[in-house]
A and B are shown apart, each in its own frame.
Chain A
């Protein structure tokens, strides 16, 4: 039984984080999204994987190679130009006859995966509060009747969870699938054709986490960190305080005066401290430097970034190779305490969060004492000058002096 994971998408709604990496490689507790699915699938008994890659496929291939590190075997199929989920799944025809499909950017639980594995021709369902954003599934007893497109007035709260168990029958229907109004070949259309002839069982999942916008990554990061087991490989100096589940990578130094409240994960080759305060639900990638008088909480800091002197970062995501100048601070709460709105790709979105700092891409540099306002989005290679204020959506390569 093979496990096909769809990992080809760009994740446009994850900009600017996905300008340089595919969505499935976004880190949660320092491991890519895709790896968490790999763990859970492996725990469910699956050992042979096919990753359907596309956007920035080299990042996926470079990290996972052929799966030796996880004791699984991984093969790759390149989708090339993105043409939809049916197109992606159709490409594995020559490689798999009975297989489970997982959407690479959704987090599934191992028990749910096991259940789907054990039932031929089935698909995962989940109940949500806001079904308007998803395709609603109509079932008759346990069988799938029809998968609907997004509707303003959804007829049920059961949605398509993005996990399937197909046999080679699906390929006949994929070949017949026409382009959707979006211009893509959608697997939901193939399924709607197949259910008329062959029944597909619907199985309601217990665990399901969809990651659509950057701040969802913060939520997912928190979930994953809650279950993390403590593991210390680095060096911890005297006069440091570490409470709760804190993982520290190899060659990482925690210098005196550091105060770390878990759950927190810190990668390899980091220099932490002296005198810094790292609060719960923070992930710090490899090669980072968190310096003196810095406070970080509920944030994701990706590899090789520096928060080196007198900074505050809360409820934020910081990409790779960033450098915050001394004194740079991130605001994460509005003075009127209302929900924070964000402008992403030119659209205004209510994050429904009271606290949100900033979402920063790669290689961003800030000058000393610069100010980053709530809900700001800063694109790759941007420059925020000394004393400057960063507001709203700032495109890549912008200089705010």
Chain B
């Protein structure tokens, strides 16, 4: 059976992190989201994947050129009109039944197997959720899908749609028909099929996570790190303490006095220490240099970063290539963030720093502040408000 993965979206709500890469390439536990999805498809009977790409597709294609185990074909969605429209791009590559899933949702292997082994023509993976009204809410009749309501106004229902379906080949006819009417989203297609009397069986997904906002990255990173297995590479000097599940890549050097408590993953070619503390659940990418006495906790640090001495980073994201001077402090706390006209209250959020920033010494950043790409911040600054990409704070 083939799988179609929708990976064309930009992920505007994840800016500034998606300014240089599509949402599906954001790293979780040092692996792009999309790779986690591909890994979940292995051993489920899916041998071939059609990847619908669009925004910054070269980043995806370059990364996956060495991916082994599943054959990958690409189709491009030139204009991002909607999920059904994206699916339609893959029509010519599909001969029989297939499953469709988003490249930026974490899903586990067993749940996919439930779907591929389900005998029904139409099937959907659903999940229990405490706040279903943010998603497509599922109403069941016996074990089958009765109705799918997108973002209902009241808090109703218990299950949501994961957006992961199994369809027969002729679903494309329905998609094309609706597309002519200007309807491009998959939920509407499903609703229409239900009205025609199609039976959708439902399967409950074990673990499914959606990433919408930057702080979701931190949350999902923590969850995925639970699954990493300790593996030591590189050089570990004397008097280094490593507890719990810690994965250290090759050519990385951990200097004396460093204290690492897993689950933590550290990439290749890094220098950590001396006397650096890294606490759960932290991911550090490749070629990153963490200078002496820095403390990092529950954060996502991407490739090629430089964290200066005595810095304190917690519940934060530091994107690729950013250089933080010594004594950088991220403050963690509650923040109410406005997103698309809604106010979201996020607890325990630190700093969210975009790519290629240069932040000088003794800079303090308030909770939940988003610093864009390529920003420059002079020493001794207190950052209280978001900073747009390409800005300077003098």
Q: When A and B assemble into the complex, do they touch directly, with CB atoms less than 8 Å apart?
A: yes
Report the Cα distance A395→B246, complex, angstroms. Answer: 13
Partner of A395, one of B69, B71, B232, B238: B232
Nearest Cβ distance between residue B45 and chain A, in whole angstroms?
6
Chain B residues with Cβ below 8 Å from A401 are 235-238
Per-residue CB contact flags for chain A residues 364-401 toward chain B (1 = under 8 Å, else 0) read: 00000000000000000000010010011111111111
Please tell me if A167 contacts chain B, counting CB pairs below 8 Å. no
Please tell me if B231 contacts chain A, counting CB pairs below 8 Å. yes
When the two chains form their complex, are residues A393 and B229 in contact, meaning their CB atoms are under 8 A apart?
A: yes
Interface size on A (CB < 8 Å)?
22
Please tell me if B233 contacts chain A, counting CB pairs below 8 Å. yes
Please tell me if B6 contacts chain A, counting CB pairs below 8 Å. no
Known interface pairs A180-B47, A181-B46. Does A398 touch B230 (Cβ–Cβ under 8 Å)? Answer: no
Report the Cα distance A181→B44, complex, angstroms. Answer: 9
- Secondary structure of the B contact surface, majority rule: loop
When the two chains form their complex, are residues B45 and A181 in contact, meaning their CB atoms are under 8 A apart?
A: yes
Chain A residues with Cβ below 8 Å from B335 are none
When the two chains form their complex, are residues A398 and B233 in contact, meaning their CB atoms are under 8 A apart?
A: yes
Question: What residues of chain A have their CB less than 8 Å away from a CB belonging to chain B?
Answer: 179-183, 343, 346-348, 385, 388, 391-401
Report the Cα distance A399→B248, complex, angstroms. Answer: 12
**In the complex, chain B residues 51-109 whose Cβ is within 8 Å of any chain A Cβ:** 69-71
Known interface pairs A181-B45, A181-B47, A183-B71. Does A395 touch B233 (Cβ–Cβ under 8 Å)? Answer: yes
Report the Cα distance A397→B217, complex, angstroms. Answer: 33
Report the Cα distance A388→B236, complex, angstroms. Answer: 10
When the two chains form their complex, are residues B250 and A397 in contact, meaning their CB atoms are under 8 A apart?
A: yes
When the two chains form their complex, are residues B238 and A385 in contact, meaning their CB atoms are under 8 A apart?
A: yes
By beta carbon, the residue of chain A nearest B231 is A393
Partner of A392, one of B69, B232, B234: B232
Partner of B250, one of A183, A385, A395, A400: A395
Partner of A398, one of B46, B70, B234: B234
Report the Cα distance A343→B230, complex, angstroms. Answer: 7
By beta carbon, the residue of chain A nearest B48 is A181
By beta carbon, the residue of chain B nearest A347 is B229
Knowing that A182-B69, A395-B233 are A-B contacts, what are 10 other residue pairs whose CB atoms are under 8 Å apart, sorted by A's residue number? Answer: A181-B45, A346-B228, A346-B229, A391-B232, A393-B231, A395-B232, A396-B250, A398-B236, A399-B234, A399-B236
Chain B residues with Cβ below 8 Å from A348 are 229
By beta carbon, the residue of chain A nearest B235 is A399
Report the Cα distance A311→B124, complex, angstroms. Answer: 59
Chain B residues with Cβ below 8 Å from A396 are 250
